[in-house]
Every structure is written in structure tokens, then in C-alpha cells.
A and B are shown apart, each in its own frame.
Chain A
Amino acid sequence: MRRYLQLLWIQLRASLATAMQYRVNFIIDGVMSLWWMIWTLVPLAIVFGGRDSVANWSFPEALLVAAFFTVLRGIIEGAINPSLATTGDRIRTGTLHFVLVKPADGQFLVSTSQFAPWKVVDILAGVVMAVIAFDRLGRWPSALDLLLCLVLLAASTLVIYSLWVLVICAAFWVVRLENLAYLFSSIFDAARWPLDIFRGWWRIIFTFVIPLGLMTTYPARAILGKLDAQTALAALAGSLAIATLSRMVWLTALRRYTSASS
């Protein structure tokens, strides 16, 4: 365990060093984050300019969902995307072998190989949005609700990461998948809205197939104290299940990879 923490630290430091070299990028990325935040807020402001509530969500509550969306997008683009996006290329060109021969878990090495530290700006922007939302609500969450919300956000990250690993595993079978990554992020865009605006089979898809609802709506409900324990437990169990599944698929895919090329 300690060895892995050390490894994580080394990889993080390497990414930080790289990021420091391109300081101008920090400014560009910062501006871009603010830019996309406004982008998120414009429709929200217009909708709630004409309505008090939509699908039983008031403006501050919907703002919370948008805040969690921004935080999660920061995590995805800062910690998950950069390393996993290059894995597809490694699989295609065979350089994944250089990773696999190292004396540590392959999945760990692959998923920590690169970070984009500047994306912290996104996470901060999301936190600011959440604070504004609670300021508007005029009350602050209880410690327990906050804790549950953080646990659920961690579970969301786990789910996103696992889905990504599953996408990567597809690269062992189909060769090119840059577009698949785009598809993933464009679908994730739907998570900026509360799940309740979707009806019928949309909601079923966004709850069970691509659990967007679980990612942003449940944490928002949790921090508002509107999530019952049963749903929370189900969400946690679901995220653990998908994490296990992705790990198993990764191991299977890896066995196939090694036997095919060496």
C-alpha cells in the first residue's frame, strides 16, 4: 500500500513538473473553465428567470447539481481523462508492454500516468457554485448530509472511472476509440441537469445504463437532506459492483492482449 502511495506521489509530481513548464496553459485553462461555467449557467439562469421551479427543483437546488457537474468534470478532465486517453494509443502501438513489465499493478500505473493539475480551477469553481447555492437557500447542510454527499461524490468518481476503464478495455478489441471518448463526454453533459427533468426511458437509461443521475443528482439530494438511506446504499452498492466488473473486464482483456502479441 505504501509503495503505491509513493508511486502515486511520484507520478503526480511528474505531472506537476510538466504542467509548470507550460504556465501560459494555466491562464488559458483557467479562462476556459470560467468560460464553460458561464456556459453552464446561462440556460439555468434563463429557465429560472421565467419559472420558480422545474420538475420540483428550485434554482439553488438545480445550481447545486450544476456545481457537482463542474466538480466532476474537473476530476474527469484532470485525473481520469489524461492518462486513460493515451492508453488507447498504447494498446494500438504495443507500448503498453513497457507499462506491463513494471513491477506494479498495470491498471494502477495506466490510470495514474498523467494528471492535468490546472483542472483544479474547475473543482474550485464548482465549490464556489455550491457555496453560492447554499447562500441562496439561506441554510447550510448538516455535517452528516455533507459527509453523505462527499461519499456519494467519491462513488460517482469511482463509477466514471470504471466506465472509462470499460471503454479502454474496448480498445483491446476495436482499435480506434478517440471518438468513443468524445461520445462519453458529450453524454456526460446531460448530468448538468437534475435527473427529474428526464422522463420515461430517458430516466431509466440515465439511472441504470449510464448512471448520470447517480453522479450529480444523488449527491445534490444528499446534501439537501432529501436522499433516503436505502437509495444511498443502493447507489453505493451499484458503484462498487461496476468497479468490480470493470476490474474483471480489465484483467480478462489484459490476458487476451498478452497472448495475442507475445
Chain B
Amino acid sequence: MRRIVRAFPTLLRIGFAEAVAYRAEFVIWMLTTTMPLVMLALWTAVAREGPFGRFTQADFVAYYLAALIVRTLSSSWVVWEMNQEIRMGTLSLRLVRPMHPFVSYTASHLAAIPLRGAVALPIAVILLLTVGNHVASDPVVIALLPLVVLSAWILAFVAGTAMGSLGMLMERSIAVWEIWMGLFAVMSGYLVPLELMPRWLATAAEWLPFRYLLGFPVEAIIGMADRAAVLRGLGIQWLMIGAATLISAAVWRAGLRRFEAYGA
């Protein structure tokens, strides 16, 4: 444990250097998150004649800009990384190091956060300038916002490692990820605010992890969730992080046995 604590700053530095070195790729990767903007265009066209549900045009602008921010800050590509490394066998390089590979993945992903912040910051400024009166005003909620977004990031990351570890057990583990992303798009509020969905879908979303990756942080940012709702959501986020950690550890252990059996 102490060794890991000592090595962590170095890992962070390496991760940051990597992120800076591949900044062009990084920017392009970030630019691929165009979906909220497209949905923004669609919904403002819809709300032009009058509010949809309780969403006015300004609400939609706030919602999708917040969605863009949350997505920029909290999405995770660890599945792709693990999948690639498992298939190419380069995961072995991480295995011979005297620490759990999840630690080094965590470090490299944490290190990218400053760059992600740099992308998210202008969006946040635009959000405040255009629809500044549609964001959270409760000081407690505002104080909790960083924690909410961070928890979303942790949940996405841990779930990503679980699906990444699946790569050692099955050949097309990326298909699992695609199904996950499809569910995410619909059930997280990424495409359509959950409130506007049919009742049964919205209820189902309450019980699935996807809402806590995006919809819940977004609602917190734009002030659609009150203090109690934010605290409750945070609790659920951490329950899910706990469950995801257990699953991820189990899949990893089962997978590692297979991976080593390949003779790598």
C-alpha cells in the first residue's frame, strides 16, 4: 500500500505527459461528443412553439450544455484500452509491475482530468452566460456538484474495468460495451431528459446505473434536483460504485486465471 502511495504521483505525471503528448487525438476524441449539441438543436426546435413538459427552450439549453460538461468530465475509455491490451497481450507489461493494473489505469485516467477540465470550462462559461439563471442556486447543492461529477466518473471507470476484464473471458467483449452504451444513451438521459420519457422507462432508469452517470449530475447542475434529491442520488451513486467494484474485482480475478493460462 505504501509503495502504491509513493508511486502514484509519478504515475500521475506519466499519465499527464501522455495526455499532453497525444493532445490532438485527445481533442478529436472530445469533439466526437457531438450528440448533446445535436439533441440541443432538436429540442430547441421542438420547444420553439412552447415548453415541452416543463422544459422551456432555456431549460433544454441548460440541460444539454450540462450534459456535455458531465460527459466531457466523466466518460471513460478504459474498456477500449483494456480490450486492446488483452488482445495484444501487452497487459502482461502491467501485470509484472508490483501493483494492481487497476491502479495504473486509475492514475492515467485521473491525469487526463485537467485536460478534460480545460475542454469543459468554456462550455461551463457559455452555460453560465447564456442560461445562468437555470443552474443550481442552493449553496449546499453547488458545494456537492464536484463530488457528484467525481462519483459519476468513478462509477463509469469502475464499470469500465469490469467490462474491460470481460475481454479475458470472451472474445467479443466489446459487444457488451456496445450494449451498455446503447442502454446508456437511452436510460441515462443523454438523448432525452428522463423526465420526458414514458413513466415506465423513467422508473426503470431509477434502478439502473446509467442515470447516475449522467442524468443525475446534470439535474443537479441545472438545479432540477433539490438538496434531498442530490444527497439521495449521491448515496445511490456510492452504493453502485461499491457493487461495481465487487463485480469488477470478481471478473478480473476470474479473467486473470484465463489470461495466465494462455501462457502470457
Asked if B42 and A182 make an inter-chain contact with CB atoms under 8 angstroms apart, the answer reads no
Return the chain A residue nearest B193 by Cβ: A46
Alpha-carbon gap, A73 to B120, bound state (A): 30
Find A199's partner among B29, B41, B43 (CB 8 Å cutoff). B41
Asked if A187 and B34 make an inter-chain contact with CB atoms under 8 angstroms apart, the answer reads yes
Check A189 for interface membership: any CB of B closer than 8 A: yes
Find A43's partner among B31, B41, B178, B191 (CB 8 Å cutoff). B191
Asked if A54 and B45 make an inter-chain contact with CB atoms under 8 angstroms apart, the answer reads yes
Asked if A46 and B196 make an inter-chain contact with CB atoms under 8 angstroms apart, the answer reads yes
Q: How far is the CB of A71 from chain B (nearest CB, A)?
A: 19
- Please name all residues of chain B whose beta carbon is closer than 8 Å to the beta carbon of A36 when the two chains form the complex: 182
Check B121 for interface membership: any CB of A closer than 8 A: no
- Please name all residues of chain A whose beta carbon is closer than 8 Å to the beta carbon of B257 when the two chains form the complex: none
Return the chain B residue nearest A184 by Cβ: B32
Asked if B39 and A43 make an inter-chain contact with CB atoms under 8 angstroms apart, the answer reads yes
Alpha-carbon gap, A85 to B242, bound state (A): 39
Alpha-carbon gap, A32 to B178, bound state (A): 8
Q: How far is the CB of A122 from chain B (nearest CB, A)?
A: 14
Asked if A186 and B182 make an inter-chain contact with CB atoms under 8 angstroms apart, the answer reads no
Interface SS, B side: helix
Asked if A199 and B34 make an inter-chain contact with CB atoms under 8 angstroms apart, the answer reads no
- Please name all residues of chain B whose beta carbon is closer than 8 Å to the beta carbon of A38 when the two chains form the complex: 182, 186
Asked if B46 and A179 make an inter-chain contact with CB atoms under 8 angstroms apart, the answer reads no
| Total contacting residues, chain A, CB less than 8 A | 32
Check A257 for interface membership: any CB of B closer than 8 A: no
Against B, the Cβ 8 Å flags (1 = close, 0 = not) of A183-201 are 1001101100100111100
| Total contacting residues, chain B, CB less than 8 A | 30
Q: A35-B179, A42-B191, A197-B45 are in contact. Are A183 and B52 (CB under 8 A)?
A: no
- Please name all residues of chain B whose beta carbon is closer than 8 Å to the beta carbon of A190 when the two chains form the complex: 34, 38, 41
- Please name all residues of chain B whose beta carbon is closer than 8 Å to the beta carbon of A24 when the two chains form the complex: 172
Against B, the Cβ 8 Å flags (1 = close, 0 = not) of A38-55 are 110011001101110011
Asked if A182 and B172 make an inter-chain contact with CB atoms under 8 angstroms apart, the answer reads no
Find A179's partner among B28, B182, B198 (CB 8 Å cutoff). B28
Alpha-carbon gap, A218 to B79, bound state (A): 38
Check B185 for interface membership: any CB of A closer than 8 A: yes
Alpha-carbon gap, A35 to B186, bound state (A): 11
Check B69 for interface membership: any CB of A closer than 8 A: no
Q: How far is the CB of A189 from chain B (nearest CB, A)?
A: 6
- Please name all residues of chain B whose beta carbon is closer than 8 Å to the beta carbon of A28 when the two chains form the complex: 172, 175
Alpha-carbon gap, A165 to B5, bound state (A): 49
Asked if B179 and A186 make an inter-chain contact with CB atoms under 8 angstroms apart, the answer reads no
Q: How far is the CB of A140 from chain B (nearest CB, A)?
A: 28
**Which of B38, B172, B186 has the most chain A CB atoms inside 10 A of its CB?**
B38
Find B31's partner among A47, A49, A183 (CB 8 Å cutoff). A183
Check B263 for interface membership: any CB of A closer than 8 A: no
- Please name all residues of chain B whose beta carbon is closer than 8 Å to the beta carbon of A42 when the two chains form the complex: 186, 191-192, 197
* Residues on A facing B (Cβ under 8 Å): 24-25, 28, 32, 35-36, 38-39, 42-43, 46-47, 49-51, 54-55, 176, 179-180, 182-183, 186-187, 189-190, 193, 196-199, 202
* Residues on B facing A (Cβ under 8 Å): 25, 28-29, 31-35, 38-39, 41-43, 45-46, 49, 52-53, 172, 175, 178-179, 182, 185-186, 191-192, 196-198
What are 11 A-B pairs with beta-carbon distances under 8 A?
Answer: A32-B178, A39-B186, A42-B191, A42-B197, A43-B39, A47-B43, A47-B46, A186-B31, A186-B35, A189-B38, A202-B41
Given A39-B182, A186-B33, A189-B38, 15 more pairs with CB closer than 8 A? A32-B182, A36-B182, A46-B197, A50-B52, A50-B53, A51-B52, A179-B25, A180-B28, A186-B32, A186-B34, A189-B34, A190-B38, A193-B38, A193-B41, A193-B42
